[in-house]
A and B are shown apart, each in its own frame.
Chain A
Amino acid sequence: MELWYTEEHTSNVKFSMKVDKQIVSLQSDFQRIDVFESYEFGKVLVLDGFLMITEKDEFIYHEMIVHVPMAVNPNIKKVLVIGAGDGGTVRELTRYNNIEQIDMVEIDEKVVEVCKEHIPQTACKLTDERVNLYFEDGLKFVRTKHDEYDLIIVDSTDPFGPGEDLFTKEFYGNCFKALKEDGILVNQHESPYYTNDAIAMQRAHEKIKSVFEVARVYQVHIPTYPSGHWMFGFASKKYDPIKHLNEEAWNFLNIKTKYYNTDLHKGSFAIPNYVKELLNYDK
């Protein structure tokens, strides 16, 4: 007997992994949630059929979405995390002692419940005393905030399904308003490779660019995501992600990482020509 989990990366491309068993399968108010035990990638979280994280490569995603902004402004004290129900982003944030408050807003409480029980590797720090969990719509939460956060991390699903409103201009605008004058916004920015992902990436960049003075993207290599080539967005009211990189201060913290380092930080903002073209980057 063989069990395989398959995700369609496009209607003509499939990605499959052999699984030992299905640990969770349930329907929440928002989406279908599955957890598999796989042979190659350890536990795998799947929402509405789309792979979210695997135990084997989640460190790449979570280190890159957190340490890049933290190395630009190591004085960040108050952070808003939107989405991120698996807890991996919060886990990385809690490694900074000077962060005082982490508000995490996840629309689907069930995702957090499932991850706490079955994927402690990522969910282990959701009980940290600096963390406040809110189970509501991210757009609604951020709409009521003014001049409050040093950093907003949007760790969302794709721009269809329950994460759709986290890719809109009104969302980015309300994030701008919720950030302090030196605030930074980092977001899951889709992929340049397959057409539909690339369109989502273009649209997100266009909207962020119309709201923030600084709007850059950086790349990251995630083996289990479609094409493996993934992007994050870095937007800010004043910090340039390379010019203002504070290498010394970050390295002084001596945070042990598996993927991130400050050389890679600089390199990740160097992007291929076809991606620059897609984003009208130098114009």
Chain B
Amino acid sequence: MLKVDTEKCTGCGECEEVCTFEAICVQDDVAVVDQDACTLCGICVDGCPEGALEFHGKEILLATDLNSWKGVWVVAECRREILVPVTLELLAKSRGLADELGTEVTAVLMGHEIESRAQELISYGADRVLVIDHPELATFTDEVYGNILTDLARKERPEIILAGATAMGRSYIPRVATILKTGLTADCTGLDIRAEDRALLQTRPAFGGNLLATIVCPGHRPQMATVRPHVMRANTPDPGRKGDVIRVLPEEDLLSHRVQVLESVKEQAEGPNLSEADVIVTAGRGFEQEKNVNLARELADLLGGTVGATRAAVDAGWLPGRTQIGQTGVTVSPKLYVACGVSGAIQHIVGMQGSEIIVAINKDAEAPIFDVATYGLVGDVKEILPLLIRNIRKERGL
């Protein structure tokens, strides 16, 4: 529990300022803690200029000799034998982190008949690639991938392990962290090194993107994080870059698994892939009825783009779940983003704010979507879109 040292406390109110949960306030010049509201997040402890706040009952776990863990690992992910973009984004980020730490970047490449990808990983920034190639790894299972990564981490002791916050990464990386009894920060959007103690500062959105939290893993190694795709930028590959490729044969007992993959099905998304599209027209609640969504499709076709959806449009059954943009859907950053009948809940905005030009059409002039829009049009999408479609056709001479 959080205790206030009343001798040291000056009642400056710093703790009250920083508390996210309104759990501490200054009364009669001394900080008072509402123990029911306090979540023991520790922000105030670090923020107190007098050192007057401390936790009681916390055991400081320094289970391992922190300094014996070295190196930054990137867990590579192949989808249908091709490296996914987030792996390349992570290599660029790791490169920076490793340089700051004065250590090397190791990529872990698991799969079957994927060794040719090793050089690609090096060209994007890896110094070393651990290749684990085995027929059992041809299809992904949480247990086998998790067992092998755990085993490698125990043997090689990296200080940081990063993986993509993909369906696969978010499924098996938590297994690894739990077995290693270390911390794992999910779905990070920012990574940095704290110079004084080499700690990895992991920034991630919480509360549906409304809040950004920076998290550290002080007493455990490795420091592990999954990282949101399309947030960081990959480097331009250098085909001439040199590195070590190390083949590792997995031990048999790591290869047993209880989940069998019967079939892997690729589903064709509507139009171009959302995360790669240059133009996205997103349909929100303002369409009111399923048939009106065709207006969004028509505009997307005209602009050579694809259709995205808000959670409301998906919940209403107008568009499939894979087209959902935002916190619980896909993050996108197209050149042009047209938000139609989208109110702009923060959960949606965090998934599209990186777009170059944002056009918002909404009948409510107060809708928060206009706060992030490059151009705002106030009106009913059912009235505006047909006009817009007609004018664009006219411009094109159609």
Same complex for A and B? Answer: no
Residues of A near any B CB (own CB < 8 A): none
